[in-house]
Amino acid sequence: MNPSHIIKVSQELNLREKQVVATAVLLNEGSTVPFIARYRKEVTGGLDEVAITKIRDRLQQLHELDERRGVVLESIKKQGKLTEELKEKINAAQIMTVLEDLYLPYKPKRRTRATIAKEKGLEPLAQIIFEQKDGVNPKTEAEKFIDTQKEVNTVEEALAGARDIIAEWINEEALARAKIRQLYLEYGMFESKVVKAKEEEGVKFKDYYDWQESVKTAPSHRILAMRRGEKEEFLTLRIRVEETQALDILKEIFIKTDNSCGSQVLMALEDSFKRLLSLSMETEVRLLTKQKADEEAIKVFADNLRQLLMASPLGQKNVLAIDPGYRTGCKVVCLNAQGKLLNNTTIYIAQSEAEQEQAATAIKKLCQLFNIECIAIGNGTASRETDSFIRGLRLSNVQIVMVNESGASIYSASDVAREEFPNHDVTVRGAVSIGRRLQDPLAELVKIDPKSIGVGQYQHDVDQGLLKKSLDDVVISCVNQVGVEVNTASKELLMYVSGLGPALAKSMVEYRNEQGAFASREDFKEVSRLSGKAFEQAAGFLRIRGGAHPMDASAVHPESYYIVDQMAKDLGCQVGDLISDEKLRSKIQPSKYVSDKAGLPTLVDILNELAKPGRDPRAQFDPVQFKEDVQKIEDLIIGMKLNGVVTNVTKFGAFVDIGVHQDGLVHISEISDKFVPDPADVLKVGQKVEVTVLEVDLARKRVSLSIRHQPHKKGGDTSKGQVPRENFTAKTPLPMKAPPSAKIAINRDLKGPKQRKPLYDF
């Protein structure tokens, strides 16, 4: 453990060094983030999952920096060029960019104009000119280096070669790169233009056909949108700065005099910026802005995914699930309270009255036969028609719920689904997924690649490794926060439990199938390859209803059972009595049980669990009810108020399902009557909202909505169902310039020009 890393992380995250050390030790010992946050509060000083994750990730970054530092030092040392001064600078580098700038002059490179000039023996001439001493005539000095055998035939050829070498020196100077980089980050402008003759084909990127925006203030979704347009070859994208400002910065660093040598250096400097440094910085800044945009987009995705996974479960009820369809009919499945498939069939409701009667008879019979308590209808094609048909049956004591089926088709064709239902086709598997998603969203959604669930923002454009790591963290956090019933959980759900993973999850299921249900948490120790460490990490998150110990169904860790047993003994009762009798619990004095192993945070958690063992942290189930006479986009009327449910939250707004098979967009400006800096501050995935229809674009199937009490009015001809949208033509703002001074303060904070923001950012 590097002490300097501990100090740095504690300062950056505003934590005590003791907390960072304790967390680092636990992580190094193999403890997971959920376990540390839930069961080691005394050790870390009560750090939550967010803080622990930040410590983990930052320590990993610093470790990677140290590894790279070692490679750099070894490479320069082998070249025989590692001076004490350079070594000190490399060891002092705190970020990767600075380290790479220091390494650049020594980094093995392809053959350049500068290396060719060096091969011709012109480096001494370059050094003489670069020193810019008074009384030195570059042309006179250059005559000494004419050598036809080395292909240096004239004075001008010698000077040109020397300038090539100087240009490379300027490009590789760490200070120059740092200042020019800062210029690009502070005052650079994104410039995107449409590729000639692709205006019609790339219409979805129309907002960026002639667009400029500050690098410093451009939001992540627009950066990713421009990059996607470039990738799909509809846009060209550049990052530019005012050349005169860049040259002024370089002149201040490199030009010492205005003599003839200084003139040669100035020529090299201008060439260096145009040919080398500007391109290098543009590439770097594109990478830096992409990384920042990725981080923001991934955070949006992760937040949305957490809200979706933590959506309210219906609970253990018998469910009839329907995957609607027109021509191929509606696939119907019946599931028991544990999600087991009991029956499947197909009904047709769009062909003829006779088939509708048969469908009605089949649904009523299935509801009676399997004691159906709730009907789940997928929200895809024909969902509203199916919903109307089912409601028309007027089934007593049966709840009808529209379920978001995003990702169900991905699951139905997956290896997981084939393994679970080898004798059923994708339509049956898809309907089962819809029903189970209603019963327990978390348990079902963990079987699907999060990227397929549809709650992200440019998820296919961001760093896929970083995305997977972030989304895995979210899934692990949610699964362990809710807890898992070990005797009914799927292998896919168990693998996210702290300390398990795919192999141990498989072993748990195999043990359960061979030996029967787990009777107590102690039985986990009998599972093949489940070590003591894995037991410690997993046991508290695995639940057993009706287990040998009353706390087996709770979040109390087995390592703390002795405390609960002692509490009951002190009160002369059984543990079960503590759970059922609030008066008994009120007599417990937590401070009495504080020890080296358990502090007050653990004891408070124990008392909370005694009050509600294994309580589900998710909200109570409360479905949205769509307007019955609005079933398709053509039914929408401007000004109409509708119930909806938020399906996706982005940086530019939120998408809301209003039951017309096409989610509408609530732009950030229409979320509230007050200023909203971030839609996520106000809206969450799964949240019920009342919206007003602002605009309908039938041609592009786009709907604009508002949650404001006084929505912005949209004008125009609304005849024939066509509602004009606002003018989306991009206005190009003036470039952002740095102050016109040779000694500009690069870190000065200037506000950019006002810029129109695109309404739709897909």
Q: Is the pLDDT of residue 451 over 90?
A: no
CA 323 → CA 372, 388, 493, distances in Å? Answer: 16, 14, 24
In this structure, of 182-186, 449-453, 658-662, 738-742, the range with the lowest mean pLDDT score is: 738-742
Position 482, amino acid? V
- The residue-averaged pLDDT of 203-220 equals 91
β-pairing, 653-657 vs 664-667, is: antiparallel
Q: Is the pLDDT of residue 473 over 80?
A: yes
| CATH of the structural domain 314-439, one choice from 3.40.50.300, 1.10.10.10, 2.60.40.2550, 3.30.420.140 | 3.30.420.140
pLDDT tier for residue 357 given thresholds of 50, 70 and 90: very high
Q: Is the pLDDT of residue 646 over 80?
A: yes
In this structure, of 163-172, 271-280, 640-649, 729-738, the range with the lowest mean pLDDT score is: 729-738
At 710 the pLDDT is: 75
At 716 the pLDDT is: 38
pLDDT tier for residue 713 given thresholds of 50, 70 and 90: low
Higher pLDDT, 713 or 705: 705
DSSP 274: I
CA 510 → CA 507, 531, 662, distances in Å? Answer: 5, 16, 43
Mean pLDDT rounded to a whole number for the chain: 88
- Tell me how far apart the alpha carbons of residues 105 and 646 are, in angstroms, rounded to a whole number: 53
Do residues 728 and 206 lie in contact, with contact meaning Cβ atoms separated by under 8 Å?
yes
What is the residue extent of each domain of the chain? 3-106, 314-439, 633-721
At 683 the pLDDT is: 92
Q: Is the pLDDT of residue 733 over 60?
A: no
Calculate helix-pair angle for 353-369, 383-392, nearest 10 degrees. Answer: 70
- The residue-averaged pLDDT of 176-197 equals 94
Note the CATH number of domain 633-721. 2.40.50.140
Helix (H) or strand (E) holding 694: strand 688-697
DSSP-based helix, strand, coil % in the chain, nearest 5: 50, 10, 40
- Tell me how far apart the alpha carbons of residues 341 and 373 are, in angstroms, rounded to a whole number: 15
- The residue-averaged pLDDT of 366-388 equals 91
- The residue-averaged pLDDT of 133-140 equals 92
Q: Is the pLDDT of residue 735 over 80?
A: no
pLDDT digits (tens, 9 = 90+) for 40-78: 999 999 999 999 999 999 999 999 999 999 999 999 999
What would be the CATH architecture of the domain defined by 3-106?
A: Orthogonal Bundle (1.10)
Lookup: tokens for 314: 């219906």
Determine the Cα angle at 169 with ends 164 and 171, to 5°: 95
The domains spanning 3-106 and 633-721 adopt the same CATH topology: no
- Tell me how far apart the alpha carbons of residues 369 and 364 are, in angstroms, rounded to a whole number: 9
Lookup: tokens for 330: 């509606």
pLDDT digits (tens, 9 = 90+) for 487-507: 999 999 999 999 999 999 999
- The residue-averaged pLDDT of 440-452 equals 86
At 533 the pLDDT is: 95
């409601």: which residue's tokens? Answer: 391
**What count of residues does the chain have?**
762
Determine the Cα angle at 259 with ends 255 and 262, to 5°: 30
Q: Is the pLDDT of residue 542 over 90?
A: yes
pLDDT digits (tens, 9 = 90+) for 386-437: 998 999 999 988 999 999 888 788 888 888 889 989 999 999 999 999 999 9
Do residues 318 and 370 lie in contact, with contact meaning Cβ atoms separated by under 8 Å?
yes
pLDDT tier for residue 752 given thresholds of 50, 70 and 90: very low
Residue 151 buriedness (CB in 10 A; 0-12 / 13-18 / 19+):
exposed
Q: Is the pLDDT of residue 322 over 70?
A: yes
pLDDT tier for residue 721 given thresholds of 50, 70 and 90: very low
At 750 the pLDDT is: 33
Residue 653 buriedness (CB in 10 A; 0-12 / 13-18 / 19+):
buried
CA 563 → CA 42, 557, 558, 559, 560, distances in Å? Answer: 16, 11, 10, 9, 5
At 567 the pLDDT is: 93
Lookup: tokens for 211: 């667009």
At 63 the pLDDT is: 93
CB-based contacts of 426, cutoff 8 Å, min separation 6: 409, 412, 413, 417
At 457 the pLDDT is: 66
